[in-house]
């Protein structure tokens, strides 16, 4: 049987979680970046290999690199979008000075036809537990 006390407790718990989540988002110093890249289609396999190597190394050795999502357009695989999350601006600045990132940039410099970087702010997050 659900009592008024149980409902009040549940509502209180939900409100507490919402407040805590909004405070943590308001104090979020993470860097959220979107990179839109157009790659020479003739070099797409080589580009993807270099990107995967850089991403894997960064995740393994850089605690400030929190996540990477790299996707390609279904209609044109040479159009790649990367969503990157860094702990803060210091972590991002350290990342772009690493040997593996510099190697990636040197390797792909003649493969990338265009690059557009955009810093974004998170306005909401919804995900399944464990994702």
Rounded CA-CA distance 122/86 in Å is 13
Place of tokens 């400030």: 64
User: Confidence class of residue 122 from pLDDT cuts 50, 70 and 90?
Assistant: confident
Residue 79 has pLDDT above 90, yes or no: yes
Residue 12 has pLDDT above 70, yes or no: no
The DSSP result for 25-72, as a single string, is: HHT---EEEEEEEEE-GGGHHHHHHHHHHHHHHHHHH-TTEEEEEEEE
Rounded CA-CA distance 104/50 in Å is 6
Residue 25 has pLDDT above 60, yes or no: no
User: Confidence class of residue 4 from pLDDT cuts 50, 70 and 90?
Assistant: low
Give the pair of three-digit tokens for residue 113: 């036809």
* pLDDT number for residue 131: 73
Domain assignments of the chain as residue spans, ordered by start: 29-120
Place of tokens 């601006």: 89
Query: Please, which residues have CB within 8 angstroms of residue 34's CB and are 6 or more apart in sequence?
Result: 81, 82, 83, 84, 117, 118, 120
Name the fold adopted by 29-120.
Alpha-Beta Plaits (3.30.70)
For the segment 80-95, what is each residue's pLDDT rounded down to a tens digit?
Answer: 999 999 999 999 999 9
- The answer to whether residues 29 and 122 touch, using CB atoms and an 8 Å cutoff, is no
User: Confidence class of residue 33 from pLDDT cuts 50, 70 and 90?
Assistant: very high
Give pTM, 2 decimals.
0.76
For the segment 44-61, what is each residue's pLDDT rounded down to a tens digit?
Answer: 999 999 999 999 999 999
Rounded CA-CA distance 28/32 in Å is 10
Nearest to 32 by CA among 66, 79, 72: 66
Helix (H, G, I), strand (E, B) or coil at 129: coil
């Amino acid at each position: 049987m659900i009592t008024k006390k149980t409902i009040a407790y549940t509502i209180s718990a939900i409100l507490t979680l919402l407040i805590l989540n909004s405070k943590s988002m308001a104090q979020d110093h993470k860097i959220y970046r979107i990179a839109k890249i157009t790659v020479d289609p003739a070099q797409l396999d080589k580009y993807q290999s270099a990107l995967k190597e850089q991403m894997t190394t960064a995740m393994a050795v850089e605690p400030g690199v929190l996540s990477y999502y790299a996707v390609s357009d279904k209609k044109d695989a040479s159009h790649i979008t990367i969503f990157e999350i860094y702990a803060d601006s210091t972590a991002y600045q350290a990342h772009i000075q690493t040997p593996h990132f510099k190697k990636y940039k040197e390797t792909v410099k003649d493969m990338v036809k265009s690059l557009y970087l955009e810093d974004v702010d998170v306005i909401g997050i919804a995900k399944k537990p464990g994702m």
